[in-house]
Amino acid sequence: MKTRAAVAFQAGKPLEIVELDLEGPKAGEVLVEIKATGVCHTDEFTLSGADPEGLFPAILGHEGAGIVREVGAGVTTLKPGDHVIPLYTPECRQCPSCLSRKTNLCTAIRATQGQGVMPDGTSRFSYKGQKVHHYMGCSTFSNFTVLPEIALAKVNDQAPFDKICYIGCGVTTGVGAVLNTANVETGATAIVFGLGGIGLNVIQGLKMAGADMIIGVDINNDKKAWGERFGMTHFVNPTEVQGDLVAHLVNMTKRGADQIGGADYTFDCTGNVKVMRIALEACHRGWGQSIIIGVAGAGQEINTRPFQLVTGRVWKGTAFGGARGRTDVPKIVDWYMSGKIEIDPMITHTMPLEDINKAFDLMHEGKSIRSVILF
């Protein structure tokens, strides 16, 4: 069949809207009509050329929602008409990682996913006879896409696609980092670096967990009102801080008889390795945990004095907020439907596929929280 998609032909170049050829689903695969997709900073990261796994040409996009149109042989858990969210972190429930119960990082198809192909080693997309790569196993910047059955979460069919697509990455990552990875307790003190599409969901998760002090840090002053809208209690713009930012944050979080400052939990939602160091060092001595969410470019490394860890600070990372997609994503959709979490205000812009490059411009200009493409 034919499908309309935004194709990344080259790193650093705008996406091009073209009509491609799409092969139907093979055994264990599912054809999905994408109805809406968010544009995440990770799409920008890969398009920029900074992603060591970046492949071109490719159809980017990993934050979608849509409807099953056809299933391949052997597919038992989905049928045409089901509403689904694609999962860049699948859940096979059979691999050693899934069975370990210690991680959400299913390994069933990770190797081929990173090579931009389906589990059988081939791509379903082609343009003028040339192969076009899949991306993060999802390729939601295409009106139709093919995914493995284990990479689809079946969700409430009353939920609006233009909102729940955000659960395919940003919402689940931010809220999950708090509830699954950090396991934040009531009364905690937290610092969130980067108040974008992920950071605001970290704040939303911190509020749900009952954190008392929630400090947001961003170089863009427009993000102050955004953070406050979701429960941030204090805002810091590092460019306006006199002296050392770590000392400033530690000072703000001084409490208890010994007046030792530092946050119980910090979250990097910037992808900047210098910020990651500050986030670790702004943690409380003895127990503070810093969670890395941001994705850093090829060749970038994190640094700190080992003494920071010797004295009890913990560095952790999280992918997809530690969520097991087929189990957790339908629940998060239900949280949205029952009003337990908010999504609507964070979707600041919607546009047709033809305008997708505007979504990247808005992100670069710091003007959007999430742009959503409607098919």
Catalytic residue annotation: 40-42, 62-63, 92, 95, 98, 106, 110, 169, 370
Residue 15: φ, ψ to 5°: -70, 150
Q: Does 194 engage in binding with ligand NAD (CB under 6 A)?
A: yes
- Residue from 3, 37, 42, 368 touching Zn ion (CB under 5 A): that is 42
Q: Does 51 engage in binding with ligand AHE (CB under 6 A)?
A: yes
| Packing angle of the helix pair 245-252, 273-281 (nearest 10 deg) | 40
Judge residue 55's burial from the number of C-beta atoms within 10 Å of its C-beta, 0-12 exposed, 13-18 middle, 19 or more buried: middle
Footprint of ligand AHE on 160-189 (CB under 6 A): 169
Closest by Cα among 69, 60, 320, 34 to 162: 34
Footprint of ligand NAD on 37-66 (CB under 6 A): 40-42, 45
- Residue from 133, 223, 313, 324 touching ligand NAD (CB under 6 A): that is 223
Count other Cβ atoms within 10 Å, centred on residue 295. Answer: 17
In the complex with ligand NAD, the residue whose CB is nearer, 61 or 194, is 194
Closest by Cα among 312, 291, 310 to 302: 291
Q: How far is the CB of 203 from ligand AHE (least distance, A)?
A: 18
Q: How far is the CB of 135 from ligand NAD (least distance, A)?
A: 13
Measured in whole angstroms, the distance separating CA 112 from the mean position of its chain's CA atoms is 20
Where does this chain touch ligand NAD (CB under 6 A) — which range of 21-29, 95-103, 213-221, 332-340?
213-221
Radius of gyration of the chain (CA): 20
Q: How many Å apart are CA 183 and CA 177, to the nearest integer?
A: 8
DSSP H helical ranges for the chain: 41-48, 96-100, 110-114, 161-164, 170-176, 199-209, 223-230, 245-252, 273-281, 306-310, 325-337, 356-364
Q: Does 270 engage in binding with Zn ion (CB under 5 A)?
A: no
Where does this chain touch ligand AHE (CB under 6 A) — which range of 51-59, 182-190, 212-220, 326-334?
51-59
Using CB under 6 A as the criterion, which residues of the chain lie in contact with ligand NAD when the complex forms? 40-42, 45, 169-170, 173, 193-199, 217-220, 223, 238, 269-272, 275, 293-295, 318-320, 363, 366
Using CB under 6 A as the criterion, which residues of the chain lie in contact with ligand AHE when the complex forms? 40, 42, 51-53, 89, 105, 110, 169, 295, 319-320
